[in-house]
Amino acid sequence: MLLEALIAILVFSVGILAIVGMQATAIQDQSEAKYRTQAAFLANRVIGQMWGFVGTNPTQIQPKLALFAYGGSGAPPAAIASWVSTVQGTLPGTGAGDFPPIITVNPDNSVVVTVRWRAARDKSNNAQPHAYSTIAYISL
């Protein structure tokens, strides 16, 4: 009877450890989903700013969009400086030395916004950054 009790305790302990492991994975997945949602919101926010800026005067769209172009290095343009600082304050690993956002303006008035981030646990195992990209065509 003592052996049966020990086996039951062992089976119960393994089950509890499995539940704790599943909970840890669920918490990690939840934080990654939060970062993806924030990245999508931030990318859509800057596209909305572009639409609003171009909408004030629809002539010469391309020169106006060029004010939003940012390759990720150096100081961001004045049109998106506050947006870049918001991205850096919201997502981990998005600073100037890490993975800042990138905005590419193409000649066909398409804009590619890429928001990149890397969580602390990804940094510790030297993983590639996460990225969210969206494309918008700005025309009136």
As a whole number, mean pLDDT of residues 64-82 equals 89
Q: How confident is the model at residue 122 (pLDDT cuts 50, 70, 90)?
A: confident
29: which 2 tokens? 């997945």
State residue 73's pLDDT score: 84
Please, which residues have CB within 8 angstroms of residue 111's CB and are 6 or more apart in sequence? 47, 50, 65, 68, 103, 104, 105, 135, 136, 137, 138
Percent of the chain with pLDDT over 70: 95
The predicted model scores a pTM of 0.80
Query: What's the CA gap between 14 and 78, in Å, rounded?
Result: 57
State residue 106's pLDDT score: 92
pLDDT > 70? residue 48: yes
In sign, the C-alpha dihedral spanning 103, 104, 109, 110 is: negative
Q: How confident is the model at residue 138 (pLDDT cuts 50, 70, 90)?
A: confident
List the alpha helices (DSSP H) in the chain.
Answer: 2-55, 61-66, 81-90, 120-124
**How much is the mean pLDDT over the chain?**
88
Place of tokens 């049966």: 4
136: which 2 tokens? 């918008």
pLDDT > 70? residue 56: no
Cα 4 from chain centroid?
52
As a whole number, mean pLDDT of residues 56-80 equals 83
Q: How confident is the model at residue 39 (pLDDT cuts 50, 70, 90)?
A: very high
Q: Are 99 and 120 in contact (CB under 8 A)?
A: no
